[in-house]
Chains A and B, each alone.
Chain A
Amino acid sequence: MKWGVIVFPGSNCDRDAHDALGRILKQEVRFIWHKETELGDLDGIILPGGFSYGDYLRSGAIATFSPVMNEVISFAKRGGIVIGICNGFQMLTESGLLPGALRQNHSLSFICQEQPIRVERTDTRFTNQYESHQVMGIPIAHHEGSYFLADNELKRLEDRGGVLFRYCSTDGEVDANSNPNGSVNNIAGIVNEGGNVLGMMPHPERRCDDLIYHSDGRLIFESVIEEFASA
């Protein structure tokens, strides 16, 4: 697959994503500066983590109006694969490609830790390489990661199976104690109705190399690659 990693001023996980896709997963991958207005020939896009525009106003809000985002939005609307991680997830909600908003952690602290998350579905293009309800430790590193969606919309999201990952305990228990930031229904990652846009706060690109703890995060990208190859 041909991948693009969008680089905003203040992105800091762009290189990790590039390394995971290029060096580890042997994909064709290139950086795309946020001022570019054409994406070229791409099969997948990563909106990486970081602090685009210093998180001014609201995390991800200003990046949403970067020149390249028009292209990213129309790419997503045409069914192109977009993965937004952390700050990238915030951009996806800000741009309306995904519902809801990411707000300050209830603790008001920046949280940086290995966080167990549970895979809620394995029949999607982002999770088909996981075992049912697999639990994996994936790092979170955010200050605005508390996912919020109003009750009626939350029900719609849950009913359509839009939640792909939830924060949980190491044995897979999803409850208030295993919720690090106050996200509604322990939501850590969601997919759009078209099934082609994934947003998640945890950083799977940091768990793609066995040299660094383990490589469970890699299965997200491998799921996409697998599905793409068989399509």
Chain B
Amino acid sequence: MKVIVEVMPKDGILDPQGKAVQQALHQLGYGEVRNVRVGKRIVLNVEGSDKTIALKRAEEMADTLLANENVEGFKVHLAGGKA
């Protein structure tokens, strides 16, 4: 099964990449765009069939390695499912 981990910079933390993307979008004429944030999407192909365990372990992985809690938050969900 596929577990998705989405890692985003925490609210209130300056995201220079998001800022640069936003500037570029404005230059392209998409002036309505505000507060762009750029994060990461990590796709885990996991063996086993127990979804609860898979999600719990993916949370552990995010806590330990995939996200840095000082500056990033994360969400874990199954592919196709809701966060």
Spell out A's residues near B (CB within 8 Å): 57-58, 61-62, 65, 93-94, 99-101, 103-108, 146, 148-150, 182
Contacts and interface: CB of A to CB of B under 8 A. Distances in A.
A142 B28 CA distance: 30
A104 B68 CA distance: 14
Interface of B: 13-14, 16-17, 20, 65-66, 68, 70-71
Contact of A106 (B14, B68, B70): B14
16 contacts: A57-B65, A58-B68, A65-B65, A99-B70, A100-B70, A101-B68, A101-B71, A103-B13, A103-B16, A104-B16, A104-B17, A105-B16, A106-B14, A149-B70, A182-B14, A182-B16
A104 B14 CA distance: 10
Nearest to B20: A108
A103 B38 CA distance: 13
A69 to B, nearest CB: 13
Chain A binding surface, main DSSP class = loop
B68 A148 contact: no
Contacts of B14: 106, 182
Contact of B68 (A61, A62, A99, A182): A61
Contacts of B70: 93, 99-101, 148-150
Nearest to A93: B70
A86 B66 CA distance: 21
A61 B65 CA distance: 7
B71 A106 contact: no
Contacts of B71: 101, 103, 148
Among A57, A62, A99, A182, which residue has the most Cβ atoms of chain B within 10 A? A57
Nearest to B71: A101
Contact of B16 (A62, A106, A150): A106
Given A93-B70, A101-B70, A108-B20, A148 B65 contact: no
A94 B16 contact: no
B66 A57 contact: yes
A182 B65 CA distance: 25
- What are the 8 A-B residue pairs with the smallest beta carbon separation, nearest first? A101-B70, A101-B71, A106-B16, A104-B16, A108-B16, A101-B68, A108-B20, A58-B68
B17 A94 contact: no
A100 to B, nearest CB: 6
Nearest to B69: A101
B17 A108 contact: yes
